[in-house]
């Protein structure tokens, strides 16, 4: 049906159920489909040539806009909180207050740096950020078939938008829900807008934008892409869902996290730096339509 599902990186707990969902989506066609995706380490690469690729936070953290002292403090925060974020022995309830603490402390440090808005595009150009292989096909086929792409990110909205623009695929069908910077009249960062979005509260981010989802009520089929357990809830704001296919990128600590991912996502992609599988599914759904 879809040859890409036979890739060595693909793990499925129930192939029959996956194929049934995809067939249902094909019958309904692209007009009934929306794609809801995480950004960092889902649409972007986790690593390239054995070296970690930066997240939208990392792009800024590692840039010349940040002092060495601030870089050191941000690095200390990462070393402390990242293991907690991916620790499968801790419950989400235990993780949430610690994630809020991490994001808040990191954002407070960034605000102290007096970052200029007009420098963000340059910082992205100079970074090692990379969208996953096959990104042109992914973004362009969604645009071609007028399929909405909703990106829910706990990263930095201003930075991730620049990454997409830099790669020439920020099309009108793309909407981003993320942590956006607030700049003063001189274009200097003064705060972050609205409610903090972290790994485990993307559902709240979705529910805070009901008008966005109301416009998509006639699209009851969802292709969901994520790389964390928190991403599984990104579609919770959607009403009247008929079919949902959850694809999870398992980038790190594969052996210890496989069981949790395979029991939660329909399709798990282990150390797969491409969008081959989502692209093949989108191609199948839109074929002949």
Residues forming the active site: 38, 40
Contact 204, 133 (CB under 8 A): no
E strand spans, the chain: 10-12, 33-37, 47-48, 51-52, 149-156, 174-179, 181-183, 189-192, 221-226, 243-250, 267-270
The count of other CB atoms within 10 Å of the CB of residue 41 is 20
Q: Phi/psi at 235 (nearest 5 deg)?
A: -95, 10
**Distance between CA atoms of residues 1 and 85, nearest Å:** 36
In terms of Cβ atoms closer than 10 Å to its own Cβ (0-12, 13-18, 19+), residue 93 is exposed
Which DSSP category does 63 fall into?
S
240: left (phi over 0), alpha (psi -120 to 50) or beta: left
CA torsion through residues 245, 230, 47, 177, sign? positive
Asked if 222 and 278 count as a contact pair (C-beta separation under 8 A), the reply is no
Q: How many CB atoms lie within 10 A of CB 96?
A: 15
DSSP string across 225-241: EESSGGGGGTTTT-SS-
Measure CA of the first residue to CA of the last residue in the chain; give whole Å. Answer: 17
Cβ-in-10-Å burial (0-12, 13-18, 19+) of 79 comes to exposed
């Amino acid at each position: 049906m879809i040859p890409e599902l036979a890739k060595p990186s693909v793990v499925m707990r129930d192939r029959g159920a996956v194929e049934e969902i995809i067939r249902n989506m094909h019958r309904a066609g692209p007009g009934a489909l929306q794609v809801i995706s995480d950004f960092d380490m889902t649409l972007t690469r986790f690593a390239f040539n054995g070296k970690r690729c930066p997240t939208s936070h990392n792009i800024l953290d590692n840039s010349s806009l940040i002092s060495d002292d601030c870089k050191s403090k941000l690095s200390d925060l990462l070393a402390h909180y990242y293991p907690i974020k991916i620790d499968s022995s801790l419950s989400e309830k235990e993780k949430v207050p610690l994630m809020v603490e991490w994001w808040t402390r990191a954002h407070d440090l960034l605000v102290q740096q007096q970052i200029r808005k007009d420098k963000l595009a340059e910082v992205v150009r100079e970074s090692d950020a990379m969208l996953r292989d096959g990104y042109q096909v992914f973004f362009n086929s969604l645009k071609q078939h007028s399929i909405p792409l909703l990106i829910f990110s706990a990263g930095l909205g201003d930075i991730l938008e620049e990454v997409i623009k830099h790669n020439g695929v920020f099309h009108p069908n793309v909407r981003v829900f993320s942590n956006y910077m607030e700049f003063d009249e001189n274009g200097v960062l003064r705060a972050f807008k609205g409610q903090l979005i972290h790994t485990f509260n993307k559902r709240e981010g979705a529910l805070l934008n009901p008008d966005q989802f109301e416009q998509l009520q006639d699209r009851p089929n969802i292709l969901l892409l994520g790389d964390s357990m928190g991403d599984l809830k990104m579609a919770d704001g959607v009403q009247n869902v008929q079919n949902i296919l959850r694809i999870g990128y398992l980038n790190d600590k594969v052996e210890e996290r496989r069981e949790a991912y395979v029991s939660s996502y329909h399709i798990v992609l282990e150390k797969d730096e491409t969008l081959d599988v989502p692209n093949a599914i989108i191609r199948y759904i839109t074929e002949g339509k």
